[in-house]
Amino acid sequence: MLQGVGPKMARLLVAYLGSPSAVFEESTNIRTEVPGFSKERFRSLNRTHALLKAEKTLEFVEKHKIDTHFFTSEKYPYRLKQCPDAPIILYSRGNPVLNTDRSVAIVGTRNMTSYGKKIILELIDHLSGFDVQVISGLAYGVDNEAHRLCISKNMKTIGVLGHGLDRIYPSRNKKTAQDMINAEGSGLLTEFPENTLPDRENFPQRNRIVAGMTDATIVVESGEKGGSLITAHLANDYDRDVFAFPGKVDADFSKGCNTLIRQDKAHLITCGKDLTEFLGWDKKGVPKPIQGNLFERLSGDEKKVVKVIKEFENISLDVMAMRLKQPVSMISSILLGLEIKGIIMMLPGQKYTLGKL
């Protein structure tokens, strides 16, 4: 709620100042080494106004039993935390499980055809045997159909919204939304506070959460332009798998899928079995831990920092800098990168521990 401070800068400020509360303490004097953020800019922030806005949101979430998930929380989606533009905070209703072994996004056109409906039915039916969570955007067409079928199969599903939790848009999907809120392991999720309207510019932001929370994005039907293609491109940017169902070359709502496949931006699949075989899923198999994959990709300096944190279980920034004989500014930068990847977590008192993935 600080004007001019986006998710990336918010994470930087928390990393350098040690805690979210430190950002708002009157006595806080920011250090000049925070990249891209001068003392003058920090002093110009209207922190008092932001706190007043936050108090109103707090009243709303408590009244309506909405859960909040700050990016340093253990419950924050670890897949999403790996994305550099992940939201600083998420709001949820219902009982959504934000960290599961297997999670996919199913997206597509609002103008779903009978062909698309048939694809979704077979896909959900197949995935129901693999304990897979399905995430989508609760829009008309493909999104709503995917959510609805998941509820009927007792599968976990999350609808990510492009507005606050004080409304449901489109209103026609209110029943599906309520069914998701009432279902075990399912619910609604958004980064937007109450009184945020479903404005056009909010939906690309919504789509990055859909892509970032999942192992793979599946495009069922799409025109040449649309939100589902934005989600697919975001998933590519996050180095996640993208899959698309092909269609007739002259079918309007297969053009987007066919283009993704032709440009090697999506793997071609024709059924649910194609998907699970490609991902290497097995009903009796155990997914390879994400954390193990992440450790393999760490740089030399990152591995040194992780080794020290593992040795001490929880360690302060200053002690870490002394142990590694490196300046605090350098260690802070490395810690921020590790936190974004979900490798570590920040604790109260500017201490760090390994993340629980």
Task: Read off the pLDDT of residues 150-193 as tens digits, 9 standing for 90 and up.
Answer: 999 999 999 999 999 999 999 999 999 999 999 999 999 999 99
Residues 253 and 115 in one domain: yes
Per-residue model confidence (pLDDT) at position 297: 65
Residues 184 and 331 in one domain: no
Q: Per the confidence metrics, is the pTM higher than 0.75?
A: yes
pLDDT one-digit tens code per residue, 183-236: 999 999 999 999 999 999 999 999 999 999 999 999 999 999 889 999 999 999
Residues 249 and 302 in one domain: no
Phi-psi region of 164 (alpha: psi -120 to 50; beta: other; left: phi over 0): beta
Torsion sign (Cα): 338, 342, 315, 20: positive
Strand segments, DSSP code E, in the chain are 67-70, 89-94, 103-107, 133-136, 157-160, 187-190, 216-219, 241-244, 267-268, 315-316, 344-347, 351-354
Residues 245 and 266 in one domain: yes
More confident residue, 302 or 268: 268
In a domain, 146, yes or no: yes
In a domain, 2, yes or no: yes
In a domain, 212, yes or no: yes
The enclosing domain of 319 has a CATH number of: 1.10.10.10
Per-residue model confidence (pLDDT) at position 8: 84
Residues 165 and 266 in one domain: yes
Place of tokens 């995935």: 127
CA 284 to centroid of chain Cα atoms: 27
pLDDT-based confidence at residue 289 (cuts at 50, 70, 90): very low
Q: Do residues 88 and 76 make contact, with C-beta atoms less than 8 angstroms apart?
A: no
- What is the residue range of 141's domain? 94-279
Residues 46 and 144 in one domain: no
pLDDT one-digit tens code per residue, 38-49: 888 888 889 999
In a domain, 71, yes or no: no
Beta-sheet pairing, 67-70 with 89-94: antiparallel
Cβ neighbours of residue 257 closer than 8 Å, sequence gap 6 or more: 219, 220, 221, 222, 244, 245, 246, 247, 266
Residues 47 and 137 in one domain: no
The enclosing domain of 199 has a CATH number of: 3.40.50.450
Tokens of 330: 């350098």
Domain count, the chain: 3
Question: What is the rounded (10 degree) CA torsion for 14, 18, 20, 22?
Answer: -120
CA 69 to centroid of chain Cα atoms: 11
Tokens of 80: 């999403």
Per-residue model confidence (pLDDT) at position 23: 87
What is the radius of gyration, based on Cα positions, of the chain? Answer: 21
Task: Return mean pLDDT, the chain.
Answer: 88
Residues 131 and 109 in one domain: yes
Q: Which of 63, 81, 105 is the last residue of a domain?
A: 63
Residues 172 and 255 in one domain: yes
Alpha carbon distance 95, 6 (integer Å): 28
Torsion sign (Cα): 26, 191, 78, 67: positive
Per-residue model confidence (pLDDT) at position 313: 67
Instruction: Count CB atoms within 10 A of the CB of residue 62.
Output: 10
In a domain, 213, yes or no: yes
Instruction: Count CB atoms within 10 A of the CB of residue 294.
Output: 19
In a domain, 338, yes or no: yes
Alpha carbon distance 55, 190 (integer Å): 18
Q: Flag whether pLDDT at 34 surpasses 80.
A: no
Tokens of 123: 């896909």
